[in-house]
Structure 1
Amino acid sequence: MGITAMVPDMTIGQLINEAEPRWGEIWDDKSARMLVLLMCPRKERKLMELHGDMVEHGQPVMTVFHRPRKEAPLLEQQNFDPKAASFQFVNLASPDLGPWMQHLITNEKWMRSSIELTSVPFSMDIPAQRAFETERILCFRHPSLPALERYYLPFPPNSIPGKCFVSLPRRQAAELARQQAEVLGVGRLEKKPTITQIDASELPIAPPVVEASPSNMDDMMDDFSSNMLAEMSAEGEEEQNVTLPGSNLEKQESEQPEHVFVPLPPSASQGPSSPQPPQPPAPAAAIENSADVPVPEPIPEPEPEMSDIEREFRELVSGLLATGIEPSEVMDDPRWEDISERAAAEGFETWPVFLQLAAM
């Protein structure tokens, strides 16, 4: 037997995707599953919703009902009254198909056939329509219902939204519920506080409170005020005879002399020996008069010998400048080019000598 639960606003495809986190070890990914269509009279829909409670199965079974609305004319064209039946899509494991249909086929004489699931034509303008490939699946119908060759859907069968009914195996579901209860802390027994009843005779009796009369209260107040005044007068006398500690300190300071001479030890009377300053060095011998020292006469440096080309160049430039020719016009003389070429051949620089002669 199983345990059926209703999950609102769900599709079979969503339940398959969330099967492992929902049901844990109950769900087997490797188990082969199949989709079948059950057509029952509309009055038996409630029985088909809880059909899993009467069937022993090993894997979760997910079902969803679809009611044709705008698709109804397509069923009427096949001589089928859409209001006479409820259409239930069942997704279950292949080994569970036999136990699921055994009672219906054996006792109620349900009939087996195949049906073609196809997409609604787009010309019908159904909102949120989604086309899918046509497929043929098994169909089981009540004997009071006629056969149906083709069933139209606006979207794939695993995407039909609505109330999904999930049937879980009872043993595995009970174990899963127990584990979840332990995790959530549900179902734990709480210790109830014990209440002990005590008789009135066993309760402790409080001693009676004696109220004082007004006359006794007046006497007590008079005694209290007189005692307080006596204590205050005694404390005042003690304060007058008490000397402040600061006055003794002032007297001791006044008796001490202002300056006290402390004798020093004999070693301290002698001042530390100061080092003697160094003797100045003896004056050096007087330097002899510089007038007595003979000054050597400078020896003129010998003039370098002039080469023939230099002597000839000097004579040419000096002669031209002596005639009143400007230094800039000396180079126009035809002899300048000839002597410059011969000077360059011998390695003589004419330009420094020319500047020297022009500046004289």
Structure 2
Amino acid sequence: MGVTAMLPGMTFRQLHDEATERWGDIWESDITRMQIMIICKRKERKLLELHGDMIDHGQPVMGIFHRPRTEAHLIEEQGLNPKDASFQFLDIASSDMGSWLQYLVNNEGWRRRTIEIFPTPISLGIPNQRSFEPHSILCFQHPDLDVIERYYMPFPIDALSGKAFVSLPNKKAAELAKQQAEILGVGKATKPQAPVVEKPTESEPASVVPPSPAMAAESIDSITEVESTGPEIVEQINEPVVSIPLPPSEAPQQEEQTEQQVSFEQHLRPSMNDDEDEAEPNENSGLESEIRALISTMVEEGIEPSNMMEDGRFAILNERALAVDLEVWPIFLEMVSI
């Protein structure tokens, strides 16, 4: 089984140039590799992105998706709606093609054929368009999609830029993937930033303004006023404090109220602790068990993983999971890969 990493903004040429530096011994430059095209249903693209997680392979498998935009009508004229399909180009070792495509061909009936890759016409005015010679490559297509004979691109396959989904074949590759790329479902790897230390700036010396004669006179008057009011303040502070005892009838009543309050708090304390000790039930655990049970049932019924999401039972549980923020996709991958 492999592990899939996503490298943004890459081309096949860049991946080949940086392969030895990125993956070290995992990459063997003398292995024969080839480029093929995969045409799948749009809603099954996620399964294709993580296809390597369920396949044993010996070399990195690189995949980049291409979405027709300005040239989309050229594909639609051949009978295939581009919005219904996803188009992926794979760079794969010849020795890994059998294991990578065996399940798709034997179990799901994918079609194996060749397709012509043509440059888009210059008249479309696509920016940064590059000309190249038309050529044919091997193509594997989902059986439910209409067959097309020609595919148009504004640049060669090697110059196709986008998110590269790279499936690496072993545990060491998984460690490299975590360091170099974004692991799907986890997030982007961020580099630690050194703390910024601000250098203290020398403050300018404060200017001292000499007091004017008027200010000096005012300060002397204020000091005189404070000295004159000082004895009065001292006299007020030194007045004796007279304590007035409470009537005899009120003291026992206050003690009785205090005892009642203490006994009431002691009566409530055990029940409050009991409530705090009770653990809150996990609402998601029951729903997760239902999802796992349903997937196991569908596997026993012989339903293919690509068709499970279309099942009405799965759709109902998926809506419930969305309502409680429960991630269904990791559970699905775990169950179908067992």
Written as runs of structure 1 = structure 2, the 5 A alignment for 1:242-281 is: none
Q: What is the correspondence of 1:89-168 to structure 2 with a 5 Å cutoff?
A: 89-168=89-168
Q: Secondary structure at the match of 2:56?
A: coil
Q: In 2 relative to 1, CA 179–7 (structure 1 residues): closer, same or farther, beyond 3 Å?
A: closer
Match of 1:224 in 2: none
Q: Which amino acid aligns with 2:135?
A: E
1:160 Cα offset (Å) = 1.1
- Map Cα deviations across residues 327-358 of structure 1 (whole Å, 9 max, x no partner): xxxxxxxxxxxxxxxxxxxxxxxxxxxxxxxx
C-alpha distance in structure 2 between counterparts of 1:79 and 1:154, whole Å? 21
SS at match of 1:73: helix
Tell me, in whole angstroms, the C-alpha distance in 1 between the residues paired with 2:63 and 2:177.
21
1:93 & 1:165 partners in 2: Cα distance?
15
- Match in the other structure for 2:43: 43
Deviation for aligned residue 1:171:
3.7
Contact 2:5 2:177 in 1 (8 A): no
**TM-score under structure 1 length normalisation:** 0.48
Q: Which residue of 2 aligns with 1:26?
A: 26
Structure 2 vs 1, CA of residues 179 and 69 (structure 1 numbering), >3 Å: closer, same or farther?
closer
1:173 Cα shift?
A: 1.4
| 173 and 126 in structure 1: CA distance in 2 versus 1, 3 angstrom threshold | same
The whole-number CA distance in structure 2 between the counterparts of 1:22 and 1:57 is 18
Residue 71 of structure 1 deviates from its aligned partner by 0.7
1:7-86 alignment, distance < 5 Å: 7-86=7-86
Measured on the aligned residues, the alpha-carbon RMSD in Å equals 1.8
Q: Deviations for 1:136-162, whole angstroms, at most 9, x for unmatched residues?
A: 100001110111100000001121111
| Higher Rg | 1
Q: State the match for 2:170 in structure 1.
A: 170
SS at 2:24's partner residue? helix
Cα distance change of structure 1 residues 81 and 171 upon mapping to structure 2, 3 Å threshold: same
> What secondary structure, in the 3-state scheme, does the structure 1 residue paired with 2:165 have?
strand
Q: CA deviation at 1:178?
A: 11
The CA distance in 1 between the partners of 2:178 and 2:127, in whole Å, is: 44
Task: Kindly state the Cα deviation for residue 176 of structure 1 after the two structures are TM-superposed.
Answer: 5.4
Q: Helix, strand or coil: the match of 1:139?
A: strand
Structure 1's consecutive aligned runs of 4 or more residues displaced over 4 angstroms after TM superposition are 174-180
1:103 aligns to what SS in structure 2? helix
What secondary structure sits across from 1:143 in the alignment?
coil
Q: Which amino acid aligns with 2:15?
A: L
* Distance change in 2, residues 1:102/1:70 (3 Å): same
Alignment: residue pair count: 180
Tell me the alpha carbon deviations over residues 100-154 of structure 1, each in whole angstroms, 9 at most, x when there is no partner: 0011111111111100111111111100100111111000011101111000000
Taking the aligned partners of 1:179 and 1:124, their CA distance within structure 2 comes to: 41
- C-alpha contact 2:36 2:90 (8 A) present in aligned 1: yes
